[in-house]
Amino acid sequence: MQTQRVDTLIIGGGISGLSAARRLNEVDRDFLLVTDRLGGRMFHNDDASMNFGVTYINDDYKYVTPFIGKGQPFHLSEVFAGNKQQIVPFLHPSNIKYAFPAFRLYFMLQRLRKELRAFRKESEHIPQHLLIENYPYMRSLARTNALDFVNAHNLQGLNEHYFRYAFGATCFADVKEASALFYLGVLFPLIVKTHMADLSGTYEKLTSGISNRIHYGKVVAVTRRGDTRFRVKIAGQQDWLAKHVIFSAPYHNTGKIYPVPASAHMKPATVMYVRGRKKPPYADKHFILLDPATSSVSLIWSQHGDKDLLLCLQPEPDLDPFYSEYKVLQKVDWKTAVVLSNEEWLPMNFEPNLYLAGDQNICGLEDSFLSGRCAANQIIENG
Ligand SMILES: Cc1cc2nc3c(=O)[nH]c(=O)nc-3n(C[C@H](O)[C@H](O)[C@H](O)COP(=O)(O)OP(=O)(O)OC[C@H]3O[C@@H](n4cnc5c(N)ncnc54)[C@H](O)[C@@H]3O)c2cc1C
């Protein structure tokens, strides 16, 4: 089969790869995006009434909002946290006892929010692992274990009864596995308006103007050819020779294609939609966080159309404690749902002309989008 040439080959058609492609397209650079599936972790059903990956966005997501709409809003008044013994509302008079640490937490969240906004603006041009050195609060949070942070700031009560549940439902991990940066990130709905991500029309918007440069296929290997080119092998198709390669596939996939720098901590998850009759303590509750230490389901969130979104820590969760009868409408298992970065963030341009884009340092749509845009800007700026 004949080999073709391209200036930049992007591997992966999730938000980071598509954002890199859109940026290269803006300046008329030659590129090809190869993906085995469009959308990646934005996967949803045809009418976008069921999201199986990304769940929510907040009002601080500025870069992705031209492509992703605001769906059903999230209200703190609807949040309950439950274990086998009891289900308690988050906004309850008895929680006044947490007022002082909560007050301090509010200011820490605001401080992080301010830094993160500025960080995001710059991260379009400067890779995240370099940029974080200029943001002392973010850097110290990224290098502090979340549990140490909880203890240092007297957040044990709130953590025990609510926040570790929210962390399980968002990062699919135990608090001690992550940094304080991720922990505070999970708590942003306390201070920033948050909505379900509405992905209707998202793929069309993200691919508009570039669909003829998207090629469907699975990349199986990338090898260096001399000093200036990479050979990109696609299963059952012709090889491509590229000057620059952007890896925008999830980390576990990228590692199979090319030896990338040391692995971050990848967390699997299962997402399902269920229609059924909830048992009495759960029946009239809209948003129920469950104890990740004892339950394989970490969130039950009632959706429009009489169905529930369930985020689960195990592929075959036990639903009997919650439903008297139910039907699973659809289910997706993710090998990598989120990546919990180590203390040392991964470089973007890890070898000459090779770029890592995606959520290996900061998870979520907005920062993945920005990392793709940054990888493209590096190529544009470096010629
Ligand atoms: C269950 C779940 C809940 C989440 N909740 C939220 C949330 O509420 N808010 C939020 O902001 N973020 C959330 N996230 C995280 C967010 O979805 C990701 O951080 C973001 O989508 C990552 O985008 P990406 O482009 O880097 O990777 P992906 O979206 O994973 O895209 C990678 C693409 O690469 C393709 N690919 C992989 N291997 C190959 C190969 N060998 N050859 C060709 N193509 C390949 C894949 O098919 C895929 O299309 C959630 C994720 C999950 C799974």
Per-position pLDDT tens, the chain of length 383: 678 999 999 999 999 999 999 999 999 999 999 999 999 999 999 999 999 999 999 999 999 999 999 998 999 999 999 876 789 899 999 899 999 999 999 999 999 999 999 999 999 999 999 999 999 999 999 999 999 999 999 999 999 999 999 999 999 999 999 999 999 999 999 999 999 999 999 999 999 999 999 999 999 999 999 878 999 999 999 999 999 999 999 988 999 999 987 666 889 999 999 999 999 889 989 999 999 999 999 999 999 889 999 999 999 999 999 999 999 999 999 999 999 988 889 999 999 999 999 999 999 999 999 999 999 999 999 87
Ligand 1 in reach of 55 Cβ (< 6 A): yes
Residue among 51, 54, 64 whose CB has most ligand 1 atoms within 8 A, to mutate: 54
Q: What's the CA gap between 300 and 152, in Å, rounded?
A: 31
Atom of ligand 1 nearest to the CA of 257: 41
Q: What is the CA radius of gyration of the chain?
A: 21
Q: Where are the domains of the chain?
A: 4-47+199-263+344-382, 56-198+266-340
Q: How far is the CA of 76 from the centre of ligand 1 (A)?
A: 27
Is there a shared CATH topology between the 4-47+199-263+344-382 domain and the 56-198+266-340 domain? no
Q: What's the CA gap between 316 and 337, in Å, rounded?
A: 16
Residue among 18, 19, 38, 41 whose CB has most ligand 1 atoms within 8 A, to mutate: 41
Ligand 1 in reach of 257 Cβ (< 6 A): yes
Please state which CATH class domain 56-198+266-340 belongs to.
Answer: alpha beta
**298 closest CA partner among 212, 179, 175, 206:** 175
Q: How far is the CA of 323 from the centre of ligand 1 (A)?
A: 30
**363 closest CA partner among 186, 140, 200, 190:** 186
Nearest CA to ligand 1 atom 35: 12
Q: What's the CA gap between 172 and 269, in Å, rounded?
A: 6
Nearest CA to ligand 1 atom 10: 364
Atom of ligand 1 nearest to the CA of 55: 8
Is the separation of the CB atoms in 44 and 199 below 8 Å? Answer: yes
Atom of ligand 1 nearest to the CA of 217: 43
Longest dimension (CA), the chain: 71
Q: H/E element holding 135?
A: none
Q: Which residues pair with 48 in a beta bridge?
A: none
Ligand 1 in reach of 269 Cβ (< 6 A): yes
Is the separation of the CB atoms in 80 and 90 below 8 Å? Answer: yes
Q: How far is the CA of 3 from the centre of ligand 1 (A)?
A: 29
Ligand 1 in reach of 185 Cβ (< 6 A): no
What is the architecture, at CATH level 2, of domain 4-47+199-263+344-382? Answer: 3-Layer(bba) Sandwich (3.50)
Residue 84's pLDDT is 67
Assessment of whether the complete model's pTM goes beyond 0.75: yes
Atom of ligand 1 nearest to the CA of 52: 1
Label residue 362 exposed, middle or buried (CB < 10 Å: 0-12, 13-18, 19+).
buried
DSSP 145: B
Length of the chain: 383
Tokens 């009418």 map to which residue?
47
Q: How many CA atoms lie within 13 A of 171 on its CB side?
A: 29
